[in-house]
Structure 1
Amino acid sequence: MTVLITYIANMVYLAVLGFIKRKQLDHIASVALNPLPTVTVQLPIYNEHYVVDRLLNACAALDYPRELLEVQVLDDSTDDTKEIVAQKVTQLQKSGLNIVHIHRNHRSGFKAGALANGLEVAKGEFIAIFDADFLPQADFLQKLLPHFENQKTAFVQARWGHLNRDYSLLTLLQSFSLDAHFAIDQLARSTSDYVFNFNGTAGVWRKSAILDAGGWQADTLTEDMDLSYRVFLRGWSAKYAGDVEAPAELPVSFTAYRRQQYRWARGSLECAIKYIPTIGNLNFLLRKNFKPHFISRVIFYIY
């Protein structure tokens, strides 16, 4: 009961904080990055034959200069997704899109391993990441990149939208929970310069920040949270762009939903175990920023 009360109190605090500082998100850097940077879009996929075609079409439609854009399909598939992707990539290459198909015959490191493998040959100064069930809108990069005006911004997280919000009661409840997470947790932490985590997809990273923090690591189930903590520990900052939405599909079965929640819960605990000793050696202000995040993430997924 004590931990639940602590969680509720923390969420109320963040809600009030987010409400007070909400107007800060209304300001997007008025001047676009000049010159425009190179961007690599990474698409980590595994047996996604039902949705991969629309994902690639959405990335091909991104409103960004072709000479500055690279798309990597990081494919660990063991089914016919590999053939579907190969055919689609060939088609898009003929249209002038700089897109490459990187297929691994193993799943070493799983998603973190695929991202790290692609990063080794990525040409972009910035790395955009989308999971297979996301559909980035054409103006995604144009809207998100101006948030990197500060050279110490490691990543910018966009808000998730929901393509199948009204499919069932389960998807509707999931949408409420995720909307609250972004509108309260991510908003308040971003505007207060508190620690918050990249959500694994629908965001952009500064490549140099990833490398500075040691790259993608596969020793936890939540490689996104793990890397987020490491960039903050290295002195980087991050932003949440609530004005930019990336629509995605929610899990439609309870089994898939529970599997997702278990992964997030276990990964949160693994990150807590990994970093709490390190955080204990930092100054009070940084501990103050980190500890509420550990509390809210772990308790949220437990309950």
Structure 2
Amino acid sequence: MARRGPVVPAVPAVVESPSDVPSVGSHTDRPEARIGALVAYVLLAVTAFLVFGVDRTLGVAAGVINVVFAIYFCRHLAFAVSAARWAEADLLAADVDLEGYTPPVAVFVGCKNEELVVDGMIQALLALDYPADRIQLVVVDDGSDDGTGPRLDAWAVREPRLRVIHRPASSGGGKSGALNEALRTVDAEVVLVFDADHEPDPNALRRLVRHFRDPSVGAVMGRCVIRNGHDSSLASVVFVDYLSGYLVNEYGRQAMFELPAYGGANCAVRMSTLRSLGGWNPNTVTEDTDLTLRVLLSGQRVRYDVSAVDYEEAVVTARRFWTQRYRWARGHQKCMRDYWRPVLRSRHLTVLEKAESMMFLLTYHVPVLSGIGLALTVLRAFGIGDLPLIGLLPLSMLLFVGPLAELSVGLLVSRVERRAAWQLIGFLPSFALSIWITTRAYLDGMLGRSYTWVKTTRSGATSTLAPVAVPLPLPPVEGTRPRSFAVAGPDAGTVGSRG
């Protein structure tokens, strides 16, 4: 992938001492609740109403929100322009250094009740193009109570390259706990992570690993593509959303600031960096955002490779969409509360980079402001607030126009079929749903309501891979009941798809 901006000199990677970087342990005793802050916000609003009046107070609030929306609009537009100008060329760029750098790597996957997708995932991992003597494949069965464990054991019997670890259901820690369990069993230079519903391209591993030639790089993110966009109208909307997120948003953050996020799947992290930071944080439900911030605060960087592609399955129902996005919002908002001070104090980030990092941390707070903005608009329609209705709408609408610009550029750069443009209409109701999800997550987090990591339910409907003819019955595995696993043929549908 062509790199924009100044070249980072090849100097030894420096990771700050634990006293300089928030460690995993520092989150253990930190309560999420910010009830005092909520009370302060309410008292501030009441005081403003009494001193300045309702109309003036709401007018000032609307003005501040519009300024925030305008800043985010400029950010969205800049990302869209960057992707429109350079992303397609980078997608078609000649392969660089895919053969010359092959450090020892370990590939981790955490699985919890993934029997619908595990075959496709294992098949894709075994097809990765990398020297067999320099790769370890470790899959963690994280307390599954379906057929995931026996199915993984059967694959391990047939494939010596595959190691399966079984965690008790009571182990805790969610995905972070499963990955940390795998981390204790390997010795490699680079760790790659995929989710159970992911099917990476065979060359994705080489494309991710090549960036670690630069010692300043601590982690690398690849591009995720939705493979089941036709399964439901919601899956189609998520398909377009991912085009915006990976072909435009992450690309723009790389092109303009060299500050993309480590996304938690189809990604890689330097082993020495990971161990120095204490591994993945089991006290967060968004371990990827948490690790992104700790890598940046340690003095290293995250890089994005638009050409390192893998395929995942979108949620197909509104209920699954809610569960997934609530987890993202809850975890991301907690990261904002945990890291905004360290980001502003960091010696490794410029003023501009600190500003972008703060905007990234606030991403899941902006829809909350959108809800407040809509409420102010409704109040003004009833004569409450000193700004005319036309004064509230223009800048507020920029919050919608900015993301729509990213979505449109994503469709253009990816060259999807023309009728996919109709999916832009689905952005409006999905954004409205996101306002409610993020607001609920914000209030639950500030009130300290308990929440643990919840996995996304799979549907297992679509796969990018042709079915593999698995001998029947599969060899019995010691400690499990002998069992046969039938693999669907062409007439019965595909195998191993995600949901």
Whether TM exceeds 0.5 here: the answer is: yes
Gap change, CA 1:4 and 1:260, over 3 Å in 2: farther
**What is the CA-CA distance between 1:228 and the residue it aligns to?**
0.6
2:229 matched to 1:197? Answer: no
Q: Deviations over 1:185-207 (max 9, x none)?
A: 21011123443321110112111
> Partner residue of 1:83?
150
Question: Could you tell me how far 1:245 is from its partner in structure 2?
Answer: 1.4
Structure 1 partner of 2:284: 220
2:77 equivalent in structure 1: 12
Is 1:59 matched with 2:122? no
Instruction: Kindly state the Cα deviation for residue 213 of structure 1 after the two structures are TM-superposed.
Output: 2.7
Residue identity matched to 1:247: Y
* Change beyond 3 A, Cα 1:151–1:173: same
Q: Deviations over 1:229-280 (max 9, x none)?
A: 1000111112111112101111111111111010111111000000012123
- Return the letter of the residue paired with 1:229: L
Find the counterpart in structure 1 of residue 159 from structure 2: 92
Q: Does residue 1:272 correspond to 2:336, yes or no?
A: yes
- What residue is the counterpart of 2:359 in the other structure? 292
Q: Is the 8 A contact 1:213 1:230 kept in 2?
A: yes
Structure 1 length-normalised TM: 0.91
State which drifts further: 219-228 or 12-21. 12-21
- State the partner residue of 2:137: 71
| 2:209 match | 145
**Alpha-carbon contact 1:10-1:296 (below 8 Å) kept:** no
C-alpha distance in 2 between matches for 1:131 and 1:259: 17
Counterpart of 2:104 (choices 38, 41, 63) is 38
Task: Determine whether 1:229 maps to 2:293.
Answer: yes
In structure 2, how many angstroms separate the alpha carbons of the residues matched to 1:75 and 1:299?
A: 36
* 8 Å Cα contact 2:124/2:201 also seen in 1: yes
Aligned-pair CA distance for 1:168: 1.7
Q: Could you tell me how far apart the structure 1 residues matched to 2:293 and 2:175 are? A: 18
Q: Quick check: 1:10–1:292 contact (8 Å CA) kept in 2?
A: no
Contact kept in structure 2, 1:25 and 1:241, CA below 8 Å? no
Moved more, 212-221 or 62-71: 212-221
Query: Are 1:166 and 2:233 matched, yes or no?
Result: no
- The 3-state SS of whatever aligns with 1:192 is helix
Moved more, 111-120 or 186-195: 186-195
- The letter of the residue matching 1:15 is A
Q: Deviations over 1:15-40 (max 9, x none)?
A: 23444554567667733474521111
Q: 1:253-272 residue pairs with structure 2 within 5 A?
A: 253-272=317-336
CA offsets, 1:41-92, max 9 Å, x none?
A: 1011100011111211111111111111100011111222111111111111
Distance in 2 between the 1:31 and 1:163 partners? 28
Residue in 2 that maps onto 1:108: 172
Matched, 1:247 2:314: no
Q: Is the 8 A contact 1:144 1:241 kept in 2?
A: yes
Which amino acid counterpart does residue 102 of structure 1 have in structure 2? I
- In structure 2, relative to structure 1, the CA distance for the partners of 1:31 and 1:141 (3 Å cut) is same
Distance 1:287 1:58, change over 3 A: same
Q: Is the 8 Å Cα contact of residues 226 and 242 (structure 2) preserved in structure 1?
A: no
Q: Number of aligned pairs? A: 299
Gaps of at least 5 residues in structure 1 are: none
The Cα of 1:300 is off from its aligned counterpart by 5.4
Instruction: Give the counterpart of 1:211 among 272, 275, 285.
Output: 275
Q: Give per-residue Cα distances to partners, 1:94-124, cap 9 Å, x unaligned.
A: xxx2x21111103421100111111112222
Contact 2:101 2:210 in 1 (8 A): no
What is the SS of the residue equivalent to 2:222? Answer: strand
Alignment partners' CA distance in 2, 1:234 and 1:27: 31
* Greater Rg over alpha carbons, structure: 2
CA contact (8 A) 1:163 1:248 kept: yes
**Structure 2 length normalisation: TM-score?**
0.56
Deviates more, 1:103-112 or 1:12-21: 12-21
Cα distance change, pair 35–190 in 1 and its aligned pair in 2 (3 A): closer
**Matches of 2:97 and 2:260 in 1, distance apart?**
26
1:169 positional shift: 1.3
Helix, strand or coil at the partner of 1:130: strand
Query: Which of 182, 188, 192 is residue 246 of structure 2 equivalent to?
Result: 182
Q: Equivalent residue of 2:124, what SS?
A: helix
Amino acid at match of 2:77: V
2: distance between equivalents of 1:119 and 1:166? 37
Which is richer in strand? 1
Q: Secondary structure at the match of 2:363?
A: helix
Matches of 2:86 and 2:194 in 1, distance apart?
A: 28
